[in-house]
Amino acid sequence: MCYRYEKHNKNKIKHNTMENIGASVSAVLTTEKKEAEVKKVVKEEDCHLMRNEMIFFLREAPGCQIHGVAEWCENSRGDIVKEADTYFLHILTGHRCETPWACIIGVAEFNEYYKEIWETLCSRIENHENIEQDMCYEKKICV
């Protein structure tokens, strides 16, 4: 009888423990879900979409320009809450390009002189330090 009593109590303890664990997990998940919802609402309320369009150009040939765009989200304190999305605009079509080199594809009027200038511009943009930050806050950059 003592054995059955112990076995019964162990099962009861296991059952109660499992109920407590289940309730605890449920409470934690509910709390985490509520916190995530609050953070989402705060982010949506606080997030201001920012956009900066700017120009890269060569000192030796200021007429050769590639336009860059940066888009990011800031909260009301000016902290960046979403990383900047940076891209370039195609010279002829204005379509989004991921690299400066893609901006000059299809430009038919390149002779050797202009080809070298455009390639120099693309190369300097590609090697520019702090490009993401500059694309967010500058209007013109001479490279």
What are the tens digits of pLDDT across the range 75-97?
A: 888 787 888 999 999 999 999 99
The larger pLDDT score, comparing residue 6 to residue 85, is at 85
Confidence of residue 22 (pLDDT cuts 50, 70, 90): low
* Secondary structure in 3-state letters for the chain: CHHHHHHHHHHHHHHHHHHHHHHHHHHHHHHHHHHHHHHHHHHHHHCEEEEEEEEEECCCCCCCEEEEEEEEEECCCCCEEEEEEEEEECCCCCCEECCCHHHHCCCCCCCHHHHHHHHHHHHHHHCCCCHHHHHHHCCEEEC
Q: Note if the pTM is more than 0.85.
A: no
Average pLDDT for the chain: 78
Domain range list for the chain: 1-46, 48-142
Give tens-digit pLDDT for 40-62: 544 455 788 999 999 999 999 99
